[in-house]
Amino acid sequence: MRPRCTKTDKEIDKAIAVLKKVLKIKPSLIELKVRLGDLYLKQDKVSLSQELYEECLKTFQEMGVKQDALSVFKKIVELQPRNLILHRKLADMYEKENMPVQAATEFKSLLKKAKEIGLNTEILILLQKIVTLDPKSYEEALELVQIYYKTEQFDQACSGSGN
């Protein structure tokens, strides 16, 4: 028995067809390519979405449109939740763009994953980043000080962040 095609599925198919036609005429409309990628994602066509997102990311970077590039890069990272390298790049991009809340959130996510796999050196670095970006991260600050004391880095422990 075949699954029924819902009205929403038909609407998505129609929207994809329209976007493809428009992009064939005017391929420079990068925002529409991002939207097309979003629609492919709704259809679980992850590889098509990622391909479009990567193309858009490259274009936004070449154009120097950092916020749009960051937004598209976040979509790429969300497609690969286990790719720690991409998560780290996203956190670093947030930090570079002076977006401390987003950077700290991403670093906290990385910290959790680093703890799960036991990446001790990375844990220390991530804790330092988090405490620097968000001085109100009391749990992370306490954990960082405890690590400094365990490793007899008393100067860093007294300063609180090691920076």
Of 49, 79, 109, which one is at a domain's C-terminal end?
Answer: 79
DSSP 76-135: HHHH-TT-HHHHHHHHHHHHHTT-HHHHHHHHHHHHHHHHHHT-HHHHHHHHHHHHHH-T
Same domain, yes or no, for 38 and 96? no
Residues 97 and 45 in one domain: no
- Looking at the structure, tell me whether residues 117 and 158 fall in a common domain: yes
Q: Write down the pLDDT at residue 4.
A: 47
Over residues 70-103, the pLDDT tens digits come to: 999 999 999 998 899 999 999 999 999 999 999 9
- Residues 64, 26 share a domain: yes
102 and 74 both lie in a single domain = no
Residues 54 and 15 in one domain: yes
Two tokens, residue 65? 């449109």
Residues belonging to the chain: 163
CATH label of the domain that carries residue 150: 1.25.40
In a domain, 66, yes or no: yes
The alpha carbon torsion through 52, 53, 56, 57 (nearest 10 deg) reads -150
pTM: 0.78
Q: Are residues 44 and 108 in the same domain?
A: no
> What sign has the CA pseudo-torsion 48, 52, 58, 60?
negative
Q: How many domains does the chain have?
A: 2
Tracing tokens 């066509």 back to the chain, one arrives at 45
161: domain range?
Answer: 91-163
Residue 7 lies in a domain: yes
> Considering the domain boundaries, does residue 30 fall inside one?
yes
Per-residue pLDDT of the chain (163 residues; tens, 9 = 90+): 435 456 588 899 999 999 999 999 999 999 999 999 999 999 999 999 999 999 999 999 999 999 999 999 999 999 998 899 999 999 999 999 999 999 999 999 999 999 999 888 899 999 999 999 998 999 999 999 888 888 777 666 566 554 5
